[in-house]
Amino acid sequence: MTARARVLLADDHPLVCQGIKALLEPAYDVVGMVHDGAQVVDAVIKHKPALILLDLQLPNRLGLDICRDIVRESPGTKVLIVSMQAEKIYVDEAFRAGASGFLVKLSSDRDLLTAVSTVLAGRPYRNPALEARTRPPRDPSAAATPSARLADPLDMLSRRQRQVFVLMGQGKTTQEIAETLGVEIKTVEFHRAKMEKALGLKNARALMRLSMERMSEPDAPTLEQVSSTGEFPSQ
């Protein structure tokens, strides 16, 4: 008899974990459920699962950093991201971080089971709705530098856009950003729309979430740093 694959669940909502567990248990051994990002890697090392279903939004640690650590510390464990975040930048960064699959949480039960079986079989998986997106090649340096990739959506922005991004991440309102930069409110709104397009985000809420996530990291730049004309492109 073939041994059942061991699966670990990591999501900050216990009810979500319970629902996924109930769906998987007829075919897989669910060896644990983790709700705190700081405990995920230790749980992987302890349980040695063949697969972990990992949410990107966990308390105390970023999901992408967790993914990189799992790839490094437990190379035999495949990572399937299960997230509400469907924006292109999150999908691309998940694969760059070493994930083997990306599933949107609003997917059907059938899609979830297909994703699990596909990844366990050694093939990449992403929702059919995401297939049209271009998946970048995995960057071997990503595992060595935990914030090297999403550490910079900033790399894709002009100098003025970086300034707006940083101030958004600091919780500034549109009016406060305009006053700080000495520009019109419409100018801030213009740059915000351009950033959404450049980063593949769906709306201002997604941009705000990404900027606050980036600015909460230990190496988050200051407004003065992103304003440096010697280092950053201007607009």
Cβ neighbours for 28, distance < 8 A, ≥ 6 positions apart:
4, 5, 6, 7, 116
What b-and-e string marks burial along 143-163, b requiring 16 or more CB atoms within 10 Å of the CB?
Answer: beebbebbbebbeebbebbbb
Residuewise pLDDT in 10s, the chain (235 residues): 578 999 999 998 888 899 999 999 999 999 999 999 999 999 999 999 999 999 988 888 888 899 999 999 999 999 999 987 777 778 888 898 999 999 988 788 899 999 999 999 999 998 776 554 434 444 444 433 433 444 467 877 888 999 999 999 888 889 999 999 999 999 999 999 888 887 777 778 888 888 887 888 777 889 999 887 544 443 4
CATH architecture for segment(s) 153-226: Orthogonal Bundle (1.10)
Spell out the domain ranges in the chain: 6-142, 153-226
The reply to whether the predicted model has a pTM over 0.75 is: no
Assigned fold of 6-142: Rossmann fold (3.40.50)
